[in-house]
């Protein structure tokens, strides 16, 4: 190899893919809507490299156990609920919500060591959460899920969707700071963008406008979407609440968007998203219900666009960034606190940090591109 070729190779940025972690993040993970688990049946959830059984006892309280029976390995999620216990389909050993074998119908007594792993469950605002900690510790008092929907208003029921994605779940976390992808992937135009990291919370504040060259409104009867305001916050490694206001030409729609996930394994996670709309004088119940159906479809398209990117991209530990790309490395440092022992959490991972991007240059470039696209589209229509 010549000296010039060697020098040129040295200057090429080489992607470092790294290895997806096999350890799953410490924190509260949402498993979905409470109503889906309160039907008197056990439910199977593959998460954290294992299988869980989720069921409600006679009082309607959610219980979560390891799915595999400690007797002979039967799958409890394929069994039935009997009283406050889930009964194994193999030999009818009955396990209560505390992880203790409560009864073996054919046995004189229950072995003293007949216990299985109980997972800490929490129900909040009609959602079910499970606590995961590789060290086996309970959550610290300040590690909580904050208020989801304000109690001083009436809201629609959750509209909820889920999809399984074959990649490591950190890919979705990077979106917290990725301002530019909203234009190229989701057809919005961020005009304001700020991140705040502190403790176990990561916040994304943004305002944006709709792209007229992509999103068309030809029917005057349909309200025209002008843009949005958003304050989204990850509470821990996997649960994001988004106070999202859609700005239409006739009214504003206040909503709560949930973006959450739980890992199935190192290279697979379940992504869930849901929306609830605040009922107001401008948006009464009947309009809120109609809007919710439309909005969950629109939001779903956005998540599917992300999933298509994740499916085809490579993992990259050393992304090459420009000034307008946001604090990617700082975000990953914040996220690292959930992937190490509590004793190894450093002050840099949890200290307060604020980053406000200057969006003037991107917006100028994007508006010019939108204008050019609209002119091209108008020319094509005239030729037709």
pLDDT tens digit string along 322-334? 999 999 999 999 9
- Residue 327: name the closest of 176, 106, 133 by CA: 176
Taking the C-alpha atoms of residue 47 and residue 265, their distance in angstroms, rounded to an integer, is 7
Q: What does the pLDDT look like over 141-168, one tens digit per residue?
A: 889 898 899 888 899 999 999 999 999 9
Domain 159-370: CATH architecture, name and number where available: Alpha-Beta Complex (3.90)
Give the rounded percent of residues in the chain with a pLDDT score beyond 90. 78
pLDDT for 150: 85
Q: CB neighbours of 286 closer than 8 A, spacing ≥ 6?
A: none
pLDDT for 64: 98
Q: What does the pLDDT look like over 194-228, one tens digit per residue?
A: 999 999 999 999 999 999 888 776 667 777 888 99
Order of all β-strands in the sheet with 43-47: 43-47, 50-56, 62-66, 118-119
**The domain defined by 27-132 carries CATH number 3.90.1170.50:** no
Tokens of residue 285, six digits: 């119940």
Q: CB neighbours of 53 closer than 8 A, spacing ≥ 6?
A: 42, 43, 44, 45, 64, 65, 66, 67, 75, 76, 77, 86
pLDDT for 6: 55
Average pLDDT over residues 303-322: 94
pLDDT for 9: 56
pLDDT for 382: 75
pTM for this entry: 0.92
pLDDT for 2: 56
Q: At residue 113, does pLDDT exceed 90?
A: yes
Q: What is the mean pLDDT of the chain?
A: 93
Average pLDDT over residues 240-262: 94
pLDDT for 187: 87
Domain locations in the chain? Answer: 27-132, 159-370
Average pLDDT over residues 64-85: 97
Average pLDDT over residues 341-345: 97
Query: Measured between alpha carbons, how far is residue 3 from residues 7, 10, 13, 14, 334 in Å?
Result: 6, 11, 18, 19, 42
Taking the C-alpha atoms of residue 131 and residue 120, their distance in angstroms, rounded to an integer, is 5
């Amino acid at each position: 190899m010549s000296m010039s070729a060697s020098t040129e190779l040295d200057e090429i940025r080489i992607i470092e893919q790294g290895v997806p972690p096999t350890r799953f993040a410490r924190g509260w993970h949402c498993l979905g809507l409470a109503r889906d688990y309160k039907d008197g049946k056990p439910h199977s959830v593959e998460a954290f490299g294992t299988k869980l059984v989720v069921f409600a006892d006679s009082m309607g309280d959610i219980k979560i156990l390891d799915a595999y029976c400690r007797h002979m390995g039967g799958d409890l999620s394929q069994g039935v609920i009997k009283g406050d216990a889930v009964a194994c389909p193999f030999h009818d050993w009955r396990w209560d919500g505390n992880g203790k074998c409560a009864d073996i119908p054919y046995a004189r007594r229950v072995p003293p060591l007949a216990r299985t792993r109980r997972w800490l469950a929490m129900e909040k605002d009609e959602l079910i959460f499970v606590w995961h900690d590789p060290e086996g510790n309970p959550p610290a008092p300040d590690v909580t899920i904050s208020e989801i929907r304000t109690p001083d208003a009436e809201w629609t029921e959750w509209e909820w969707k889920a999809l399984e994605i074959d990649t490591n779940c950190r890919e979705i976390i990077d979106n917290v700071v990725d301002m530019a992808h909203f234009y190229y992937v989701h057809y919005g135009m961020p005009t304001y963008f700020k991140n705040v990291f502190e403790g176990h919370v990561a916040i994304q504040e943004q305002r944006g406008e709709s792209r007229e060259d992509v999103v068309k409104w030809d029917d005057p009867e349909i309200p025209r979407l002008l843009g949005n305001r958003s304050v989204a916050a990850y509470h821990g490694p996997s649960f994001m609440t988004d106070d999202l206001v859609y700005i239409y030409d006739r009214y504003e729609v206040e909503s709560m968007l949930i973006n959450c996930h739980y890992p199935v394994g190192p290279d697979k996670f379940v992504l869930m998203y849901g929306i609830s709309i605040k009922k107001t004088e401008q948006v009464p119940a009947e309009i809120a219900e109609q809007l919710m159906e439309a909005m969950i479809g629109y939001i779903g398209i956005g998540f599917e666009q992300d999933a298509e990117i994740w499916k085809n991209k490579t993992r990259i530990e050393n992304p090459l960034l420009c000034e307008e790309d946001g604090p990617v490395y700082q975000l990953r440092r914040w996220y690292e606190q959930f992937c190490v022992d509590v004793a190894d959490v450093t002050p840099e991972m949890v200290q307060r940090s604020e980053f406000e991007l200057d969006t003037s240059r991107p917006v100028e470039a994007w508006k010019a591109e939108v204008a050019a696209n609209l002119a091209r589209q108008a020319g094509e229509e005239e030729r037709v």
